Amino acid sequence: MLIAITGTPGVGKSTVSNILSSRYRVININSYARENNLLEEFDTELESYNVDIDKLNDSLKSKIERSEIVFLDGHLSHFVNCDIVIVLRCNPNIIYERLKQRGYNLQKIRDNIQAEILDIILCESVNSGIVTSEINCTNLTPSEIVEIIEKIIRNPSLFPPGSVNWSNEIDKWF
């Protein structure tokens, strides 16, 4: 079973994945793509490399047993052919602080905050047709998020999309 942990940069995907990695196999999409030569040209606007999703899918298919639970960590992981997509959500004000800490410039921070407010990754995930769950991580510890993820593995319909609405943040940011 392949489970995508996705969400806007800064929501806490890698923090949660780090805990999951003590119990399960976890693949970080960016590292995996780099190690397996799946990166395409550098996108100067996004300041990140594009990933060839078709090649990524083929590569993962050959390396993952369907009986094994494997998590994918990355903001592109919902584009992979997986069994469950889990979208982590976080209040834009917290994302702002975290991305500032990471050294992102203001434009890049605003682009990510806009994507979070507009539910971009959630919409992409739901549109993939793969069963999608959504967790509002704003007031949860990483361990609490992992507990919810383990509940979702047992019952993917427990945390359906629709629990998050950041639309009242638009006026503040834009």
Residue 93 in tokens? 């004000």
Which of 142, 153, 161, 169 contacts ligand ADP by CB under 6 A?
A: 142
Shortest distance, position 88 Cβ to Mg ion, whole Å? 10
The number of angstroms, rounded, from the C-alpha of 105 to the middle of its chain's C-alpha atoms is 21
Shortest distance, position 60 Cβ to ligand ADP, whole Å? 19
3-state secondary structure of 52: coil
Convert 53-64 into a string of H (helix), E (strand) and C (coil). HHHHHHHHHHHC
Residue of 47, 49, 29 lying closest to 39 (CA atoms): 49
Which of 14, 18, 93, 114 contacts Mg ion by CB under 5 A?
A: 14
Q: Does 81 bind Mg ion (CB under 5 A)?
A: no
3-state secondary structure of 106: helix
Spatial distance between the Cα atoms of 21 and 130, rounded to a whole number of angstroms? 23
Shortest distance, position 129 Cβ to ligand ADP, whole Å? 24
Shortest distance, position 135 Cβ to ligand ADP, whole Å? 10
By beta carbon distance, the residue nearest ligand ADP is 12
Binding site for Mg ion (CB under 5 A): 13-14
Binding site for ligand ADP (CB under 6 A): 7, 9-15, 98, 137, 140-142, 145
